[in-house]
Amino acid sequence: MSTDTTIERHRTSALTYFLGQNIGLVLALVMLVMAVILYCAVYWIEQQMLPGNFEITSTVNNTMPLVLSAIGQAFVVLTRGLDLSVGGIMDLSNALAAVYIHDSVASMVGVSLVILLISTGLGLVNGLLVGVGRLQPILVTLATLSIYQGIAIRVLPQPGGVIPPVYTSVLVNPYQPYALVYILLFAFLWYAFRRSAIGVSIFAIGNDEQAAMANGINIVRARVTAFTLSGLMSGTAGLFLAATATAGDATTGNGYTLSSIVAVVLGGMNLFGGRGSGIGVIAGAFVTTMIVNILFFSNIDPLYQSFYEGLFLLIAVVLGTLISRLLRRRS
Amino acid sequence: MSGEPDTAGETTAPAIEGIKLSRAFGGVQALDNASFSARRGEVHALVGENGAGKSTLIKILGGRLLADTGEVRVDGERVELRSPDAAHGRGVWTVFQELTLFPWMTVAENLLVRREPRGFLHLIDRKRMAAEADSILVELGIRHIDPSKLAEDLSLAQRQIVEIVRVIVQQPGILLLDEPTSSLGEKEVEWLFGLIRDLRAQNKCIIFTSHRWKEITDIADRITIFRNGVELGTFTEIDESKAVTLMTGQQVDAFYPQPPALQEKRPRLEVKDLSGPGISDISLRLHAGEILGVGGLAGHGHRELFFSLFGAEATTGGEIVVDGDKARINSPRDAAALGIALVPEDRKTEGLLLPMSVGVNLTLAVLPRISVLGVIRSAREAQLAHQMVDRLKIRTPGLRNPVGQLSGGNQQKVLLARWLLADSHIVLLYDVTRGVDIATKHEIYELMLSLAREGRAVLFYSSDAEELAHLSHRVLVMREGRIAAELKAPGITAEDIVSAAVREATSVVD
């Protein structure tokens, strides 16, 4: 057949088309910029200056556990599931770190690796129950959330333990926002995941499970991997949480189950699977923290914080949905 | 030779064969001890009514389904095709009827899924992937599909083409195509047949199903006919009327009952310039006692039209007039209040409550009539349900059995009965006979006619042009969301409908 022919493309609307395809990511980044501007504004009004190194460092450090747990959640959301055990795994990882990590380098590295291994195993348990056992993700992870929390409480019944200062300064340096390096690392890892065979499989089952099967994709393996990765990320998040707090508490991870879902949604990822970007999810995690910061500097009564957080979330979701509908109609 | 089963001894082992295959879905025996074989270097057509077992056979040969009993052989060797992957390993590739593209991936990603070119760190190289997709499409003469587009933004015909291309590039030794032409226009069909002829020249084995007789005789070397899950023989040559008689099990004329003559012309439903997603400027008039057929290729707006009229799909302009009054239909509830009923094709997701009983499903639309202060009087419910079961010959073990246990045809009858009970005077039937067995099909036809005789107005879409041609007073043919032609009985043929549907249909290939 003729070879001089070329593909006809729709160049005129290339930008609109790109926006339509990556709307979630674009909206998440726009939201992040807006949140930063708003934060700077309320900060200026309160303090008559712009946020400095200290504020940036503490924002980045405080967001790290959420960034990590949200990326973990994202793997599962891509497969059309939810992982409610994120908080439980973080609790356990946090508690184990507080009890067993001591001052020596060997202990810091060795125990951390063991904790990550355990967290990965807990994720694997979720994955096997959902993937091989064909059980509902929400039911499975609701149950394992309680179980993992229970074990965490057993490990560390009272808040306490000590995290070596060296450990803290390596993970979440309190003086400089070095933790941004980890963000870049995870952004790159996401980039690689998106371009790997397992990444394609996980996206594929979220697109259409039947189609994935017809294409010979191993859907059980993809699903198990998603939950396992989620466990690994939650475990990492627990370590960062311990490092930030410099001590352990077997309950501080609880809130991350829901806030990781919030970050995933704000990051523009589709809760029905198959669509979304890890970069967007990282942005979503920062937006979530920014909202809390903005509320803090707006002098809102802490009693109403939860109310306003919910309100912000609702507004963000409604706006995001409206804009993406508008864009998709035009493209 | 003509018309005789082909029993010539085969010197080499067939490329692929199914021996005494059976497979049941719930209560329906989709394949019943059916055998089939195809050789290399031939194009083999599977024909039969909807629900005759062709798709089930293709799925079994393609590794999508396992047979309950029987065996599959490839090149004479017994194989267990437990997954499409296992079939691929044997060189068997399938273009399935329900499309298997990933909607939120690009055409390039879809074309090269699991075979993506790798680059740095063994990661997928998107640039090379795009370039490869380009060259694949260009080489096959497809210039109107942009590989950077998302699959969900393609037209149905374009999606079908991508689906075919994706399998062709695997250089299958045995190629199975399940109704590959149902959403293609004339030019695309020609393009596909060009590819198939090339493959035949390369001594490949090609098996396909189609409902269009002309296509079958154009390209098939042999034809195997199926009815009710049983193969009725393989032919090298057979004329259409004999084939149809075999497929339906009866003479065509007797099979389709005559629609009753139209008495008065009282419009019940008038649609003026109705537009919405997928449809534009639809105008039609449906009279009492009339069966108005709607035909055309799949994906040309029928579904949108029917669901708009039932309030299940939003419209952007136009007017709907019911019995002379302008109607506002914003939800199925509005439609039901105006006496409009919809029987959809996908009864599993769009009409029946499968785990609930036959009785509940039958009386769902008349709950107020059988309730006192919101409490259902079960005696009244049973009485009405019994009437309907008798009248429609619904084959059910009892009223308390879940509808999900019934066969597809009987489920369809339960839905029809529900709207009969509800006294709906405008009945929208959307491809109701799809996947229904022949006997039940006939009963549904009779039921349609009795609806018309009672003075109800029937709007009737079918993917089976033959059915439309025989049962309708008039047929509207839709193309690209518009009404492209109106055909009047008597004298409508299935060919008229198909040719009106494909005329000038936009083409994806050159």
pLDDT band of residue B466 (cuts 50, 70, 90) is: confident
What is the average per-residue pLDDT within A10-24?
68
**Nearest residue on chain B to A205, judged by CA atoms?**
B102
pLDDT band of residue B212 (cuts 50, 70, 90) is: confident
In this model, does residue B247 exceed pLDDT 80?
no
Count CA atoms closer than 13 A to B73's CA, side-chain side: 15
**Nearest residue on chain B to A275, judged by CA atoms?**
B104
Complex prediction ipTM: 0.88
Query: Which single residue is written with the structure tokens 């929400």?
Result: A138
**Phi, psi (5° rounding) for residue B320?**
-120, 125
Looking at the structure, do residues B201 and B98 belong to the same domain, yes or no?
yes
What is the average per-residue pLDDT within A68-87?
97
Share of chain A above pLDDT 70, in %: 93
Tell me, yes or no, if B83 comes closer than 8 A to chain A by beta carbon: yes
What is the average per-residue pLDDT within A245-271?
92
**Nearest residue on chain B to A190, judged by CA atoms?**
B123
Question: Residue B7's pLDDT is what?
Answer: 46
Question: Residue A13's pLDDT is what?
Answer: 58
At B125-139, the pLDDT tens digits run 989 999 999 999 999
Preceding omega of B5 cis (within 30 degrees of 0): no
What is the average per-residue pLDDT within A303-321?
85
Question: Residue B370's pLDDT is what?
Answer: 77
* Spans of all domains in chain A: 57-284
**Phi, psi (5° rounding) for residue B461?**
-100, 140
Looking at the structure, do residues B309 and B448 belong to the same domain, yes or no?
yes
Tell me, yes or no, if A211 comes closer than 8 A to chain B by beta carbon: yes
Single residue among B371, B398, B423 that ends a domain in this structure: B423
The DSSP call for residue A288 is H
At B253-303, the pLDDT tens digits run 557 788 888 777 788 999 999 888 888 888 999 998 899 999 887 778 888
User: With the CA atoms of B351, B355, B360 and B366 taken in that order, what torsion angle do they form, in degrees rounded to the nearest 10?
Assistant: -20
Question: Residue B2's pLDDT is what?
Answer: 42
Chain B: closest CA distance from residue A198 (Å): 10
User: Which range (B89-98, B203-212, B493-502) has the least confidence?
Assistant: B493-502
Q: Which of A272, A307, A268 is nearest to A287 (CA)?
A: A268
Residue B395 belongs to some domain of the structure: yes
At A126-150, the pLDDT tens digits run 999 999 999 999 999 999 999 999 9
In this model, does residue B437 exceed pLDDT 60?
yes
Looking at the structure, do residues B270 and B324 belong to the same domain, yes or no?
yes
Looking at the structure, do residues B98 and B50 belong to the same domain, yes or no?
yes
Tell me, yes or no, if A46 comes closer than 8 A to chain B by beta carbon: no
What is the average per-residue pLDDT within B135-146?
90
Q: Confirm if A258 and A82 have CB atoms less than 8 A apart.
A: no
What is the average per-residue pLDDT within A240-249?
93
In this model, does residue A239 exceed pLDDT 90?
yes
Output the pTM of the full model: 0.79
Count CA atoms closer than 13 A to B372's CA, side-chain side: 4
Looking at the structure, do residues B93 and B119 belong to the same domain, yes or no?
yes
Tell me, yes or no, if A216 comes closer than 8 A to chain B by beta carbon: yes
Residue B344 belongs to some domain of the structure: no
In this model, does residue B220 exceed pLDDT 80?
yes
AA letter at A112: S
Question: Residue A93's pLDDT is what?
Answer: 97
* Contact state of B96 with A2 under an 8 Å Cβ cutoff: no
Residue B258 belongs to some domain of the structure: no
* Contact state of B143 with A204 under an 8 Å Cβ cutoff: no
C-alpha distances (whole Å) from A142 to each of A89, A96, A227, B384 are 12, 21, 14, 45
Q: Confirm if A168 and A243 have CB atoms less than 8 A apart.
A: yes
Looking at the structure, do residues B56 and B68 belong to the same domain, yes or no?
yes
Domain that holds residue B243: 16-252
Question: Residue B11's pLDDT is what?
Answer: 56
Report the sign of the C-alpha dihedral through residues A290, A292, A296, A301, in that order. Answer: positive
C-alpha distances (whole Å) from B91 to each of B78, B110, B175, B199, B248 are 14, 20, 8, 13, 34
Looking at the structure, do residues B78 and B171 belong to the same domain, yes or no?
yes
In this model, does residue B483 exceed pLDDT 60?
yes
Identify which of A33-42, B384-393, B476-485 has the greatest average pLDDT. A33-42
pLDDT greater at residue A307 or residue B5? A307
Helix (H) or strand (E) run with residue B177 in it: strand B174-177
* Contact state of B123 with A215 under an 8 Å Cβ cutoff: no
A21, A216, A274 ranked by CB distance to B85: nearest: A216
Residue B509 belongs to some domain of the structure: no
pLDDT band of residue B250 (cuts 50, 70, 90) is: low
Looking at the structure, do residues B280 and B210 belong to the same domain, yes or no?
no
Question: In the numeric block, which tokens belong to residue B501?
Answer: 């549907």
CATH code for the domain in which residue B322 is found: 3.40.50.300
In this model, does residue B484 exceed pLDDT 80?
yes
Q: Using N-to-C axis directions, what is the helix angle for A86-100 and A256-266, rounded to 10°? A: 120
Looking at the structure, do residues B223 and B140 belong to the same domain, yes or no?
yes
Looking at the structure, do residues B389 and B447 belong to the same domain, yes or no?
no
At B43-86, the pLDDT tens digits run 999 988 766 788 899 999 999 899 999 999 999 999 999 988 89
For residue A134, how many other CB atoms are within 10 A of its CB?
A: 9
Residue B1 belongs to some domain of the structure: no
Question: Residue B27's pLDDT is what?
Answer: 64
- Cα–Cα dist A285/B453, whole Å: 65
Tell me, yes or no, if A208 comes closer than 8 A to chain B by beta carbon: yes
Q: How many domains does chain B have?
A: 3
